[in-house]
Structure 1
Amino acid sequence: MIQKDSAMKLPVLFLGHGSPMNAVRDTPYSRNWRRLGQALRQRYGGEIRAVLAVSAHWCTDGTAVTAMPKPRTIHDFGGFPQELFDVRYPAPGSPELAAEIRSLLGGHAVAADFGWGLDHGTWGVLCHVFPEADIPVVQLSLNVNLDAPAHFALARRLAPLREQGVLIVGSGDIVHNLRLMDRRAPDEAGSAYEWAESARSLVNGWLENGDTQALTDEAAYPPALHLAAPTPEHWWPLLYAAGAAGADEPLQIFNDDIVGKSLSMTSVVFGHDALFEAV
């Protein structure tokens, strides 16, 4: 079990990961992830003992947590350049943290997984945030049988980890509609579909106002948000980040662009309103 030896509470991150190519390209988004990582190192140093990542790219029947000491780098995509498949992110795992998570979630059955690893939703951002790959990383899966309030409630139970040296990172996209993406300019920021811009602005407002009721009330989601998240797996990691954070905590929104008209890069630091200077 990870022992608490400090009252310091770590922030919570939600990172809009976008295209896997952000892992190997020098973009405004990857530059900001690097700046964020540098700021975390400077402010917290050795206080960050491990990362708990919740990625849009690990959906399971039931909840699972990676429990192997050396998670593999998973290249869960196709049609990209070889340089992306060549990437390895050799961060250690943490069976100790996996056991702590299973204990924290108590009556909620959580399986110890030894076959998954780190998918690109996790390593694609952490390779910039912590390029040294020296901090242990554990992934928690997205249980496809849970609704938004249940995911949020699960995240609330993980919040104590923040005071035990665990950095909780959700990796997804608030707006993620690849079917309607402008394939002629998939990486171009700027002119988004009206519904995509509406969804981005609406969710940003909920986050800034600490409106967790609106964030989790699926029955009341407007049509724009249903278009922004036609399937929920890229939306759910935001609920884990917001759930692990308090509704009254300050936050910093950055990388707040929509690319290809229907894919948002919006990222959030919960717990600080100016942790680092974004480009």
Structure 2
Amino acid sequence: MKKTSKLKKLENSTQAYSNTERMPVLFLGHGSPMNGIEDNEFVQGFKKQGKQLSKPNAIIVVSAHWETKGTFVTAMQQPRTIHDFGGFPKALYEVQYPAPGNPKLAKELTHEVKPENTIGLDDQWGLDHGAWTVVKHLFPNADVPVIQLSINYTQKPEYHYQLAKQLKNLRDKGVLIIGSGNMVHNLRQVAWDKINEDYGYDWAIEADAKMKQWILNGDHKSLVSFQKQGKAFDLAIPTPEHYMPLLYTLGLKDDQDDILIFNNKPIGGSLTMTSVKFG
């Protein structure tokens, strides 16, 4: 059976690399999985950015919700929509984001990095909620190939920052790279009675403010060494998986990139939705 012309077009989209404009890099504070079906101010922020983006050849997402021993990239033709959460309304589990994968780009990624930074090909994962709940608002037609790059939990922060630097040239090939997590993310400290309010604990506001200051000043060293920044950061980042996607976007940034901070609010005391566009 012959493949449809649409699928062929998607598979061949990366062949036009040299004719595409340089893509920005996004860090998206993805927050609750409910952002996949709600139309709140944060979702509106995602949609606004989506309208300003040129259609990329492909999208790479580094999601807080795919941690692995070793680094992997999804390489299947049609990634499944993963509903990796519990206790939410039925409507959320019914959402499908049928974007195609891009095995060609996945294989290319394995050749982009230094030998000591091996990236393996994965055919099991798919698109977790850190990916599809935000990408669907950027490209609702699911007509851009999407692959995910995992977070190697055995490696230190500097490793992730340096690995991202090796992928910079993909921006010039029409590839949009997205880090999806939350800069401040402490679920144990959430004030559930204020989960829908613009409210942050003092330590959350302090850590978020310093992060934004360092982002704007280009102080990546302080951001990479977040574990040495004191009590506010210890509370803001009790585990690193939601913060690591930010380090990937910092590594992909160039000095000439403009910086835009949006969705700039805390919620529930111990979470921030702060999102950043570089470029």
TM-score bin (small chain): over 0.9
The residue that corresponds to 2:141 in the other structure is 132
Q: Could you list the per-position Cα deviations for residues 100-129 of structure 1 after superposition, in whole angstroms to 9, with x for gaps in the alignment?
A: 111102311211000000000000101111
Q: Could you list the per-position Cα deviations for residues 190-241 of structure 1 after superposition, in whole angstroms to 9, with x for gaps in the alignment?
A: x310000000100000100011111112452221111101000000000011
Match of 1:150 among 136, 154, 159: 159
Q: 1:16 is aligned with what amino acid?
A: G
The residue that corresponds to 2:113 in the other structure is 105
CA–CA distance in structure 2, aligned partners of residues 146 and 238 of structure 1: 15
Change in Cα spacing, 1:263 to 1:211, as seen in structure 2 (3 Å) is: same
5+ residue gaps, structure 1, are 272-279
What's the RMSD between the two structures over aligned residues? 1.3
1:247 Cα deviation from its structure 2 partner: 4.1
CA–CA distance in structure 2, aligned partners of residues 248 and 221 of structure 1: 27
The residue that corresponds to 1:230 in the other structure is 238
1:249 Cα deviation from its structure 2 partner: 2.1
CA–CA distance in structure 2, aligned partners of residues 218 and 127 of structure 1: 31
Of stretches 3-12 and 175-184 in structure 1, the one that deviates more from structure 2 is 3-12
Q: 2:106 is aligned with what amino acid?
A: A
The TM-score, its normalising length taken from structure 2, stands at 0.92
The TM-score, its normalising length taken from structure 1, stands at 0.92
SS in 2 for 1:134: coil
Q: 1:255 is aligned with what amino acid?
A: N
CA–CA distance in structure 1, aligned partners of residues 155 and 19 of structure 2: 33
CA–CA distance in structure 1, aligned partners of residues 176 and 36 of structure 2: 20
CA–CA distance in structure 1, aligned partners of residues 152 and 119 of structure 2: 10
1:5 Cα deviation from its structure 2 partner: 1.4
5+ residue gaps, structure 2, are 1-11
Over the matched positions of the two proteins, sequence identity in percent amounts to 47
Residues 44-123 of structure 1 aligned to structure 2 (within 5 Å) = 44-45=54-55, 48-107=56-115, 108-123=117-132
Kept in 2, the 8 Å contact 1:211–1:247? The answer is no
CA–CA distance in structure 2, aligned partners of residues 150 and 262 of structure 1: 27
1:169 Cα deviation from its structure 2 partner: 0.3
